[in-house]
Structure 1
Amino acid sequence: MEEAALSGDIESLYTLIEKDPGILNDLDEERLSIVKTPLHIAASVDVRTTPDEQKLKYLYFASEIMVLKPSFALKLNPQGFSPLHLALQNGHGKLARRLVDMNKEVVRVKGREGDTPLHLASQKGECDLLAYFLSACPDSIEDVNARDETALHVAVRCQQFDALRMLVGWLKGNTRKGADSLEWSILNWRDVAGNTILHLSVINHNIQVYTLARSCRPRMSIS
């Protein structure tokens, strides 16, 4: 199975299933919330220098697995990552979008250190994917990691100003019911050390972050 996943070979996948119809069920037992599945393996291949044709094979293979076993997308591997975390780490932009299209809840899966894929996209400055994730799963903006950091905290900590600007812009442009309250809550959210993004901008002497944060419609707290 690992060989089929590493090559994105759907024919080999079904050959294995024919020989052992329960091969995927064995990985899908309820007690196995942490397990290395074929979906993890396909998403783990670094495709940043891979030809487009091979990238599509991984995309099709992953889509096939998602149809057969949707629950695999919500599981963590032994290293603490979901398939979407791995796709982000390895340049699988199309695969990341496909996973979200098939199940928007994958955006909210908490992996190692409590980071969701939204946190990871913020850390890496993947602005297009941040926008895609938030469009599919707006509630993910409220998720915090083990440090009580929002995706905005992560953007500030990792000096990803474009990602922060995108996230703040999304909050300001949000027209859903309770948007003002949500914007105030997120912008004034304190991490485990008691810092809002405004505090972090002052600590790090980052005038860009400070100016951007202060431009938001709810008045931010500096106390």
Structure 2
Amino acid sequence: MHGSGAVQGGDAGEVASLRKLVDPEDPSALSSTTPQLNTALHLAALHGHAAFAGEVLVRNEELLVARNDDGDTPLHLAAKAGKLEAAELLVGRALAWPQDRKSPLIMTNKAGNTALHEAVRNRRGAVAEALLDADPSRAYDLNEQMESPLHMAAREGLVHVVRKIFDFTWVEAEYVPSVAVSGTALHQAVLGGHTKIVEIMLEKHVWLLHLTDSDGNNALHYAAQKNKSQLVELLLNKQAQLAYKPNGERQSPLHVAAHYGSTAAIKALLRCCPDVAEMVDSCGRDAFHISVASGKTNALRCLLRHVRPAELLNRVDNDGNTPLHLAAKMSRVQSALLLLNDRRVDPCARDHDDHTARSLVEVKLHAGEMDAYEMYLWKQLKQQELKRCGKQQLPPLAPYPSRRASNDKYFECIVETYILVATLIATVTFAATFSVPGGYGDDGTAVHCDKIAFNIFIISNTVAMCSSIVVVFCFIWAWQDPVRFKVDQLLCGHRLTVIACLAMLVSLTTAVYITVDPESRWPAYVVIVIGMSTPAVVFLMLGKEVIFVPM
């Protein structure tokens, strides 16, 4: 575009150049555009050259409502870029715009955003306040996503903008549900975790607490979802009844917190309203059921610590499932084990089909679909039934399936791998016994036998060797009865292998420590640090999985 280079400077010299280049009698040169359809006024607004923009408007005021390829007016671009001086100039001209023509303050771009939308969306607080001073009612305009500048400001945490909006007359309009917007402006503030904005809103209009989104969720549902305990407490202090308000699926805020694993929110809700744990959703499920179904073991652990009545832990849903039944059906092994460890949970309870949790797991056993974790769970459920359900009639205990029912190639690979690893450990540790650090003296005894480090080496080396020998023999006999082996011995064999590996690490570090020159111990210390960090690294990578069989 001709003359666009002059816009980049924006000082008095360029204004003077503009006056020379553009004939006052024929300002048509100012109507030329860039390939993006930006006029000289668009560029001046974008770069914040207010004096230049003012000179352009003197010559062609129609450029105030010109649109570029995105539908943006110069005021949109000034708002996006946060150019306050240019924005104030354009706002002043917009206020003087003829009333029978559409004002730049209400013009929208292709996204349906006004200049105020763009200022707030781009976190240009000063420009947004200037626009609000000019026309406060624009704070409630909805774009194509049914989102107002107030929604955006609440979500973005623009405290001063929200305060200014609430200082003006409040527009008490019904909330327009939309899939693109999560609830009201209060919901947006909660989603963003902006406590100060929530306080401002509720100080002015506490009735906002009663508004819900299109799914019936109130602001407390949102705070529970995002695990914002401070906001949960703030909302409950304003109105404790919010904790008992269900959404469209009859879920309380505690249900939502359990579903998302929001432990801080769970604690805050139960501290203020302990009886909210009694609420059930449309499927008859309480928070325990929800935490199991969603696989949130941290939420389940928190509920077990803070909910006391035993009947809530054994309540059945509409299908007759207790939380333990649900964990068994959905293969939530960790959740089931947590429940089993709580003496209040009844492993003898039956569902509508007369199944206990143990008999539900057995269904997978006979279908050949049970993995090592579920087999471990089955074993624990059987033990609990034997201990606690002796006086009750229970489904018959299923026998182990025949050997032919367990034709698992992956199981074969697992067994072969363990045998190979254990054999290697046994071989290495056996060899280390006859080549001890420092060697032997003339009398046939080890040179360093009087040192504590040497005794640690001998003990750890023996532990590694003996553990690996036990693993080898156990896994050789695995083919006698593969299913029974998976349930009863596989986990023990795995853990013995882990012990053997750890003992071998100890053996390595002590051997290095013994053989290094006492005057220069630093290499030994480095080796010890590396050896000690190895189990930590493995645990960080695998977590608790490291103590279970990878099946």
Normalised by the shorter chain, which TM-score bucket? 0.7 to 0.9
Q: 2:188 aligns with which of 44, 49, 58?
A: 44
**Structure 1 residue aligned with 2:169:** 16
**Structure 2 residue aligned with 1:138:** 274
Per-residue deviation, residues 165-186 of structure 1 (Å, max 9, x unmatched): 11011124xxxxxxxxxx2220
**Structure 1 residue aligned with 2:321:** 195
Cα distance 1:109–1:208, how it changes in 2: closer, same or farther (>3 A)? same
1:1-223 matched pairs, under 5 angstroms: 1=140, 2-8=148-154, 9-17=162-170, 23-24=171-172, 40-44=184-188, 46-47=191-192, 58-89=194-225, 94-172=230-308, 183-218=309-344, 220=346, 221-223=348-350
8 Å Cα contact 2:285/2:317 also seen in 1? yes
1:135 Cα offset (Å): 0.5
- The whole-number CA distance in structure 2 between the counterparts of 1:135 and 1:7 is 32
- The whole-number CA distance in structure 2 between the counterparts of 1:112 and 1:122 is 17
- The whole-number CA distance in structure 1 between the counterparts of 2:264 and 2:242 is 17
Cα distance 1:194–1:10, how it changes in 2: closer, same or farther (>3 A)? same
**Structure 1 residue aligned with 2:65:** none
Cα distance 1:90–1:68, how it changes in 2: closer, same or farther (>3 A)? same
- The whole-number CA distance in structure 1 between the counterparts of 2:275 and 2:211 is 20
Question: What is the aligned-residue identity percentage?
Answer: 20
- The whole-number CA distance in structure 2 between the counterparts of 1:11 and 1:69 is 14
Q: What secondary structure is seen at the aligned counterpart in 2 of 1:212?
A: helix
Higher RCO (Cα < 8 Å, 6 or more apart): 1
C-alpha RMSD of the superposition: 2.7
Larger Rg: 2
1:202 Cα offset (Å): 1.8
8 Å Cα contact 2:227/2:262 also seen in 1? no
The one-letter amino acid paired with 1:6 is: M
Q: How many residues align?
A: 191
- The whole-number CA distance in structure 1 between the counterparts of 2:262 and 2:331 is 24
1:103 Cα offset (Å): 1.9
Query: What TM-score does the superposition give when structure 2 sets the normalisation length?
Result: 0.32
1:133 Cα offset (Å): 0.9
Per-residue deviation, residues 8-55 of structure 1 (Å, max 9, x unmatched): 4112212124xxxxx44x65xxxx9x989xx832323653xxxxxxx5
Runs of 4+ in 1 over 6 A off after TM superposition: none
- The whole-number CA distance in structure 2 between the counterparts of 1:209 and 1:78 is 32
Per-residue deviation, residues 124-146 of structure 1 (Å, max 9, x unmatched): 11111111111011111111111
- The whole-number CA distance in structure 1 between the counterparts of 2:342 and 2:307 is 9
Cα distance 1:86–1:168, how it changes in 2: closer, same or farther (>3 A)? same
- The whole-number CA distance in structure 1 between the counterparts of 2:152 and 2:228 is 14
1:213 Cα offset (Å): 1.9
1:73 Cα offset (Å): 1.5
- The whole-number CA distance in structure 2 between the counterparts of 1:112 and 1:170 is 27
Per-residue deviation, residues 80-127 of structure 1 (Å, max 9, x unmatched): 221122344467554333212322222221012111111111111111
The one-letter amino acid paired with 2:274 is: P
8 Å Cα contact 2:186/2:201 also seen in 1? no
Cα distance 1:163–1:91, how it changes in 2: closer, same or farther (>3 A)? closer
1:5 Cα offset (Å): 4.4
Q: What are structure 2's unaligned runs of at least 5 residues?
A: 1-139, 141-147, 155-161, 351-551
Q: What secondary structure is seen at the aligned counterpart in 2 of 1:155?
A: helix
8 Å Cα contact 2:209/2:218 also seen in 1? yes
Cα distance 1:196–1:219, how it changes in 2: closer, same or farther (>3 A)? closer
Q: What are structure 1's unaligned runs of at least 5 residues?
A: 18-22, 48-54, 173-182
8 Å Cα contact 2:270/2:277 also seen in 1? yes
